[in-house]
Structure 1
Amino acid sequence: MKPFLCWFLLLASVAFGLPRETLFTDDWKFHLGDLAGAETPEFADQQWRPVTLPHDWSIEGEFSPDHASATGFLPGGIGWYRKSFTLSPEAHGKRVLLRFEGVYRNSTVWINGQLLGHRPHGYIDFEYDLTEALVAGGTNVIAVKVERANIADSRWYPGTGIYRDVWLTIVDPIHIVRHGVFLTTPHVTEAFAEVNSTCEVTNTSTESRTLTVSAEIHDSPQGNPQSLSRATTTRTLAAGETWAFPLYHPIEHPHLWSPSDPYLYQVTHRIEVDGKQVDEVTTPLGIRAFHFDADHGFFLNGKPLLIQGVCNHHDAGFLGAAVPRAVLERRMRLLKNIGVNAFRCSHNPMQDDLYEICDELGFLVMDEAFDEWEIGKRKWVQGRNAGTAERFGYSEDFAEWAVRDTEAMVRRARQHPCVILYSIGNEIDYPTDPYVHPKSRQVEIFKDSPGQPSMTRLAAVAPSLIAAVKRHDPTRPVTMALSNASAANAIGLANMLDVAGYNYQEAAYPDDHAAFPDRILIGSENGDSPEAWAAVRDLPYISGQFLWTGFDFLGEANEWPNHGSEAGIFDIAGFPKRDALWREALWSEKPVLHLSVSQGRRGWRESDWNEPRRPNEPVQVLALTNLPKITLSLNGRSIGTSSPQNGIARWELPWEKGELIATGTDPQGQVHRATLATTGRATALKLHAERLELRGDQRDALHIIVELLDDAGRRVARDDRDVKVTVTGPLKLAALENGDQNDPTSPRSDHRTTRRGRALIILQGRAPGTATLTVEADGLPPANLPIELK
């Protein structure tokens, strides 16, 4: 945004009034490296680089073996951000607040040289009141220092910088506090629902005031002239007092929220003082009721529902940790399309957009606070489980900040109907990392060593975190992702939880259900094996599972040049792997039929019908399907009919050039078909765009898939080429990704080798106008795409 536009937003006219909350992401300046005095308003920052937030400076660096494998072989460091702004005279007498959705990590914030505060946690939103330090009618300067000198501070890639949105809030001295609206649905049927709304209001003025709080429920995001319910309450609030105002709403014949029908109402809370409205906040409402049952699993709106979830970290490949909403939405739609109905925030709270998207698309969410508590876990430097590890991280700040950070997670998440679970920790009980116990299960290669702390300590810490959750939301259960159930049982930790999450411990389900019949069990992290799925499908008391993971992610890398995990069912570009196709066959309600081939137990596994790596050995053909019978033919000859087991029908046959066709009929009599054909050399480039328009606001994102095609128009998976991307006009190449976690090409490069005949281009617009995307590859005609920026 141009400087005068930002100025206009802040200096709003009397006719339109001041917006309550405004994005505060334009016209920042950035400097990589530490500088003395950079917090002072008079500091000379004219040579600093202009940036638009969100901004992750680690992804702007180069992959290097000199960095840490745990965090993706990318750099960190210390950086400074500054922003100058002027407020409208209308802001006089108001409170001016600054909210950060997340800064990784160890952020310190100043306004006009005055210290506002420090926040070590990199994934928690926080807010500062700027009011008393502002210069009325003059220039104000925000300065933010971000410290991440030790880059081996996480077990995955965290990013570095102000990598989430920042918001400026201007409110009356009497106003609704941040995340102060809390909506609950204690009684829900198809005929009638009761909605309780609580609105937390603070009076920062110097005198007592009588105020009226109202809440109005509308049947659409735009709001109907006729509301479904309106409730009011009045109370006198003393100077400096904060009060939670309760309101009650009976709703006849509610439209219930669910993953299959994520219907959202809107609730608008208004504050009036002396007949004048002084504040207004609108919050989404999903009317739903859920509960877990120790014998029968999870129920939503009175009906059993199997939780079919994935875990995921917060990065998006070569975009790093600063992820536009459109990128998140594409990823969530990919998951939704294969039957995923739940998402676990691994292992930290996510950006606001994620929860809003889950509300809108219909995902159940497990929010999660921490990956470590008082003592740091191993963060590998030279490769996973290789060499030595560091233990630096959030654990150094846990004792001081954990309760406040847990409360902050809950207060934000409780606004979202998608959230059904709060996890206070991931694998805090992991054997030997760092705690030990005589009843630990044995995992990996590590043994107890002298001086390691007793796991019993966890039973002393957990109650304070559980209490922090319950103080702010007693309606949702508390869980942990336990990796060591035998030890967690022995110290009493598992029994403290409303829901016990088990990571990779399907074998323990029957015995623990028998030993603890009142315990609610869920697979909080699971592999994608048939056995792991059977444990959920066949045991009614298991509420569901969360696969590790939905998408590949940066960090938790093996030895160089690998820079990220390949645990996902989708690769880091969002292209489906075989496991995604198989999971669709298991989880989707629509007819599914895909073909895949393999050779050898761990060898060639592809979705093409080109010559295998061992031509003289037979090839296994797999149909990934939920259809009852599949018939396979090769070059018009029948190979046979097979009934799938666990979503897979199988054949074994010699490879032969040509076309492989699988057909099946669904219960409604519709015939479905999948084909694989031998392809020739690449002769053309093709660009697949989800749309041809893009907002020129530096926030929207456009995904374009580039494919190599043969003369028959088929994607060529065995003739990869280096492709170069050029953009003209107000267009920015945000990322060029091929999904290969072993390709150390710079994340900011404009060229990259395709992988299996394709790559993903992500574009962002700098301003309105017209632009052109051009993609070139050696020996092929270039491909062009015009793009309109709105």
Structure 2
Amino acid sequence: MGREVVDFDSGWRFLCGDVPYPNTFWGLSKAGICTQGGSGEEFDDSDWEKIDLPHDFVHLGERDYSDEPPRRYADGTAMTNSALQHDPFRMWDTGDWIQNRGCYRYGIGWYRKRFRLEEADRDKRIFIEFDGVCRDSQVWCNGFSLGRHESGYTGFAYELTDFARFGGENLLAVRADSTLPEGWYYEGGGIYRHVRLLKLERICFVRHGVRIQASASPRIRIGYRLENRLEPGRKVRFHCTVFSPDGTFAGEGSLEFLPEYWREAGAELELTLNSCKFWSPAHPQLYTAVCEIESGGAVFDRVKVKFGLRSAVFDAQRGFLLNGEPLKIKGMCCHQDHAGVGTAVPDAVQEFRLLRLREMGCNAYRVAHHAPSPELADLCDRLGILLLPENRLLSSAPEQLGQLREMVCAFRNHPSVILWSLGNEETRVQFFPEGPRIVETLKHFVRQFDDRPVTAALFSNYLTSGPAALDRMLPTARALDVMGFNYCDQHWFFYRAANPEQPFLVTEESSLSPVRGCYRDDHEHGKLSWLGTEKPFDFARRWALVRDYSFIAGLFIWTGFDYRGEPTPLPRPAAASSFGVMDSCGFAKDSFYYYAAQWRPEPLLYAFPPWTHRVEPGIPVPVYAFTNCDEAELLINGRTVCHRKAVDGVVCFGEFPYEPGVLCVKGSGPGSQTVEFVSHTAGEPAALRLESAFRGANVELVNVFIVDNFGVVIPDAELPVIFELTEGVLLGTGNGRPDDTVRDDSPCRTTFAGCAQAIIRRPPGAPITVRSPGLPPARLG
């Protein structure tokens, strides 16, 4: 007896395109009679593609470089940024909408899976759970419509019990329509997150039916909800056993009650644990609660819930307090999108990305701009990364309330979650009278399910600097538990002066647009350098503000990784952003090392550009450094050139005549701590260097670098490489280039700024070989 969870990711059939509804007399007017269309059992899908989940059908489809018709407001005014001069509270122009969505053709995809339910399952309740389908999905079981789910970002479940065939074959069909956007960036399409089949007893927990309320105390409360469909008058016992992070017994409790037949029922149990080990980024200690429903001496349902003991408080004066101690939030905003796989990011790649962020010193992750996947939240718990989930739309309409409830109930047990964001840059709402009413409704709606505070990422860049300019936004902002500012540091202190008792968080900041390895603008090829901007290092000033003012809880940088779509300000052919401190493969850009120097405790020094310039010797070239040292010394070919002080972690050495050889920068800080950074001039391509960047349970990321005879990475090498597997599967390849148009599943990729990446599945020991014309092949066993 008990709960059985079946992985439902494998064995699907897929068609990119729509399947017309059959032209029958009854059409859709009767339940379960549609046997011929894409949802029907008699439909022949034998020529459909065989796929496993997660799956994003858009990133492998056709690209769309068509011209876009001009867009207009309802009054006929062209939707351009100049229109904002007349009404700055309209939504701004997003630019090229096709380009914003990544220059892909969106559309419809169908998924079908046949599966067997045994005769022994007849007395069970059968459910299907989806973690995310992008988007506007419809699901059928054996020709019966189960429902429709509009959002692509929240999970959902349907019960199959009444429609299932026990002792025989069943058919599940899913139609996903990504034609209309839910966001303004690349969203992909299809079943891009995991799917599970649940077999439950007739007495079982309801979906998200266990809630654990914990703080920085051994006293916890466990709320639960269950349903009895077995028989009337059945007495049940709820029992919970808690285990400490080291696996030892920490406490237990139980209570008995008589639930009504065919109705949800629940209660709450209080426990005092025999240990109190706090969860924090430094020590992500996780307890495990094993919750059981017993009746008549049998266990009918059992779920395991991870949780942490910790307090998370936003204070108007001291910022963010974790377990009573101030902790500055050093966060990154991230999309679910990675080179080679689109939005269907494998769990191992999610972990790789989080580890890269943590390597930089990042301690927080804002999900942009939607609910996270369950696997991402689990990883944040385990790795000690604070998590800010975000509601997709700032609206209190029934559909949006349902999405918000799903997000809160799905992730409220996670200690990494520190607050809820109600929405992002909802400029149509935040400046108008509807704004505070909607926020109040959503805030109190959340309180029904969780007691964490709410924020929203508000945007005031349309407003001139000064206290009067904020008046129109104040009602909405003041309705929030925690004020969230996107950018607009010119307004921070005016807002603070007017609202000194409201906690304050910078929810988004410092959008930089440099392409990795690019130090000269090349708009024709979609490349942008930050060194030519008026204030290239102004982001350092803004971090210094956050660091130095205790009332600011912290900030989230836009973004951790590049992502498809929203390539502002790059023109076509660029179809991907370059906002990230890392590119879409996770290769670090220069800004990665700025935040590492500011956020990590050990001395760190990083100089750039690389000392490989395609200019004649003697031509002046710039040298910069990021560091947490007080000052730095610059040496060229062993000769000291100058000393410079660091300002907010940035050292601007100036320009010097280029001499191929060795550039060295030495830094010194308080006491005797010193650190050194060396950059060698690269020679001609001589070899391929392979490294396994990360290997998870069933997915591996393999990086390839073009190096010279001395192993120096050639920072501007663009050479074709071919990835070959004798066993296993190539999931995708990438290089981080924003205008790359090669299909993601191609084994052939041109390196960009000296490197490229493959995402593979291979048996242990099975080799991967990489070849490039004119270079010896490289092999990784």
TM-score range relative to shorter protein? 0.7 to 0.9
Kindly tell me: are residues 49 and 169 of structure 1, through their superposed partners in 2, closer, same or farther at Cα, counting changes over 3 Å?
same
If the length of structure 2 is used for normalisation, what is the TM-score? Answer: 0.86
**What is the match of residue 762 of structure 1?**
759
**What is the match of residue 313 of structure 1?**
335
**What is the match of residue 260 of structure 2?**
238
Q: Is 1:182 aligned to 2:217, yes or no?
A: no
Q: Is 1:250 aligned to 2:272, yes or no?
A: yes
**What is the match of residue 780 of structure 1?**
775
Q: Is 1:147 aligned to 2:177, yes or no?
A: yes
- Distance in 2 separating the partners of 1:32 and 1:346: 27
Deviation at 1:581, TM superposition (A): 0.6
The one-letter amino acid of 2:187's match is P
- Distance in 1 separating the partners of 2:472 and 2:551: 18
**What is the match of residue 471 of structure 1?**
448
- Summarize deviations over 1:63-90 as a string: whole Å, max 9, x none: 3313921210112211211111111233
**What is the match of residue 641 of structure 1?**
643
Whether the aligned pair in 1 keeps the contact of 2:430 and 2:476 (CA below 8 Å) is no
The residue matched to 1:359 in structure 2 has which SS? helix
- Distance in 1 separating the partners of 2:644 and 2:571: 42
Q: Is 1:23 aligned to 2:7, yes or no?
A: yes
1:264-413 paired onto structure 2 within 5 Å = 264-370=286-392, 372-373=393-394, 399-413=397-411
The residue matched to 2:282 in structure 1 has which SS? coil
Deviation at 1:253, TM superposition (A): 4.6
The residue matched to 1:492 in structure 2 has which SS? helix
Deviation at 1:737, TM superposition (A): 1.0
Deviation at 1:245, TM superposition (A): 2.5
1:215 to 236, 240, 245: 240
- Distance in 2 separating the partners of 1:580 and 1:255: 32
Structure 1's consecutive aligned runs of 4 or more residues displaced over 6 angstroms after TM superposition are none
- Summarize deviations over 1:334-379 as a string: whole Å, max 9, x none: 1101110011011001211110110011111111011x456xxxxx
Deviation at 1:622, TM superposition (A): 2.2
- Summarize deviations over 1:477-513 as a string: whole Å, max 9, x none: 0111011385575561111111110101222221111
- Distance in 2 separating the partners of 1:461 and 1:62: 40
Deviation at 1:694, TM superposition (A): 6.9
Whether the aligned pair in 2 keeps the contact of 1:213 and 1:245 (CA below 8 Å) is no
**What is the match of residue 39 of structure 2?**
39
Identity of aligned residues (%): 33
2:579 to 548, 553, 567: 567
- Distance in 2 separating the partners of 1:667 and 1:216: 50
- Distance in 2 separating the partners of 1:94 and 1:668: 69
- Summarize deviations over 1:375-403 as a string: whole Å, max 9, x none: xxxxxxxxxxxxxxxxxxxxxxx834101
- Distance in 2 separating the partners of 1:694 and 1:611: 38
Which segment is superposed worse, 236-245 or 409-418? 236-245
- Distance in 2 separating the partners of 1:82 and 1:92: 23
Which segment is superposed worse, 359-368 or 640-649? 640-649
**What is the match of residue 601 of structure 1?**
none
Which segment is superposed worse, 738-747 or 463-472? 463-472
Aligned length: 698
* Gap runs ≥5 in structure 2: 22-36, 68-97, 464-468, 512-538
Deviation at 1:462, TM superposition (A): 2.6
Whether the aligned pair in 1 keeps the contact of 2:2 and 2:299 (CA below 8 Å) is no
Q: Is 1:753 aligned to 2:750, yes or no?
A: yes
- Summarize deviations over 1:136-164 as a string: whole Å, max 9, x none: 211111111111234x5531111100110
Whether the aligned pair in 2 keeps the contact of 1:571 and 1:739 (CA below 8 Å) is yes
Which segment is superposed worse, 464-473 or 48-57? 464-473
Which segment is superposed worse, 771-780 or 419-428? 771-780
**What is the match of residue 625 of structure 1?**
627
The residue matched to 1:122 in structure 2 has which SS? coil
- Distance in 2 separating the partners of 1:59 and 1:402: 27
If the length of structure 1 is used for normalisation, what is the TM-score? Answer: 0.85
- Distance in 1 separating the partners of 2:2 and 2:338: 35
Q: Is 1:493 aligned to 2:470, yes or no?
A: no
1:167 to 165, 177, 196: 196
Deviation at 1:309, TM superposition (A): 0.4
**What is the match of residue 688 of structure 2?**
685
Whether the aligned pair in 1 keeps the contact of 2:2 and 2:201 (CA below 8 Å) is no
1:402-551 paired onto structure 2 within 5 Å = 402-429=400-427, 434=428, 455-473=432-450, 475-484=451-460, 490=473, 492-527=475-510, 529-551=539-561
2:593 to 557, 563, 581: 581
- Summarize deviations over 1:679-718 as a string: whole Å, max 9, x none: 1100111111246x775xxxx2111111111111111123
The residue matched to 2:378 in structure 1 has which SS? helix
Deviation at 1:537, TM superposition (A): 1.5
- Distance in 1 separating the partners of 2:696 and 2:290: 31
- Distance in 1 separating the partners of 2:203 and 2:471: 47
Whether the aligned pair in 2 keeps the contact of 1:482 and 1:488 (CA below 8 Å) is no
Kindly tell me: are residues 245 and 668 of structure 1, through their superposed partners in 2, closer, same or farther at Cα, counting changes over 3 Å?
farther
Deviation at 1:534, TM superposition (A): 2.2
* Gap runs ≥5 in structure 1: 1-16, 375-397, 438-454, 597-605
- Distance in 2 separating the partners of 1:153 and 1:308: 28
Deviation at 1:318, TM superposition (A): 2.4
**What is the match of residue 382 of structure 1?**
none
The one-letter amino acid of 1:772's match is P
- Distance in 2 separating the partners of 1:559 and 1:64: 15
The one-letter amino acid of 1:110's match is W
- Distance in 2 separating the partners of 1:500 and 1:176: 36
Deviation at 1:626, TM superposition (A): 1.5
1:51-70 paired onto structure 2 within 5 Å = 51-66=51-66, 68-70=98-100
Deviation at 1:516, TM superposition (A): 1.3
The residue matched to 1:419 in structure 2 has which SS? coil
The residue matched to 1:518 in structure 2 has which SS? coil
Deviation at 1:255, TM superposition (A): 1.2
